[in-house]
Amino acid sequence: MYYFKKLTFDKGEFDNFLDATYIIHLQGNTTRYNNIIFQLNKFVPTKTVYILFNKGFKHKNSLIDNSAKDLSDCYITIFKHNKANTILVLEDDFVWLSNIKYNKHIDKFCIDNKNENFAFYLGTLPLLSIPKTYYINYSIFNILTHSIIYSKNLQQQVINYKIIPDWDIFMNTFITHKYHYYIPLCGQTFTKTVNSKTWIIYNTPIYDLFFDIINPFFYGDIYPEQLFYFFYLLLPFVLLICIARIIQYNCSYYYK
């Protein structure tokens, strides 16, 4: 079902606070594998990089019967394989954005919280978050799991699970200490795939709006930087509008 390919580089920009990088790859997808090599030629996060070759859910037991469960099983497998401490896990459609480089703020956060239970997103859709520091936000609700730093404590918590139906839902339901940088550092391309059909918005107008209008407008299927910046800038305003509407409704209810 799985095998790991180890790559060793002279150094990685995140070596000071990360022990290794793992990349989940669906075996046989040449385009995605070429993307991995291309991205590692642009930026090397750690000296040690493992590529997890996954044959897909059709080659696993009957309990893992869709791509969402299959992806979750990849994470559990990686956490069991990892003998080090804090690691970065990437999915094979990840794309380094223009601001990716050594980051002293993430370095300090990971070292200071090395023994804590946390997940730190290098790129996400921050639907609901609040500032922890000027550079780092505490995430209450967010989606996308293509580039996350996991502490050893969190990994130890997860390896006790046998089946996780959906990794995104799991991260938002059971992992409470989630953080992300104030700007996106890593994105992912968006195309309609088998896995996208497991999204909660599949077969809804939101799914069609995103893939037919928003994603093509920002060329999110080619280079998603502008799309991610759009969401990082837009979503806080959406949150403020929602809060304002709630306050307005409550005021009109109590003072009518």
State the DSSP string of 147-202: EEEE-HHHHHHHTT-S--S-HHHHHHHH---EEEESS-SEEE-----TGGGGSTTT
**Residue ranges of the chain with pLDDT lower than 70?**
194-195, 197-202, 236, 238-239, 242, 244-246, 248-256
Distance (Å, whole) CA 127 – CA 200 = 15
For residue 60, the model assigns a pLDDT of: 79
For residue 113, the model assigns a pLDDT of: 96
Sequence-separated (6 or more) residues with CB below 8 Å from residue 30: none
Helices and strands per DSSP (H, E), number in the chain = 8, 11
Question: What pTM, to 2 d.p., does this model score?
Answer: 0.89
Q: How far is CA 3 from the centre of its chain?
A: 22
Return the closest-CA partner of residue 88 out of 188, 165, 155, 157: 155
pLDDT tens digit sequence for 17-37 = 999 999 999 999 999 999 999
Distance (Å, whole) CA 113 – CA 131 = 17
For residue 253, the model assigns a pLDDT of: 47
pLDDT tens digit sequence for 84-123 = 899 999 999 999 999 999 999 999 999 999 999 999 999 9
Q: Structural domains in the chain?
A: 2-254 (3.90.550)
Q: Which residues of 91-117 are buried (b: 16+ CB within 10 A; e: fewer)?
A: bbbbbbbeebeebeebeebbeebeeeb
For residue 202, the model assigns a pLDDT of: 64
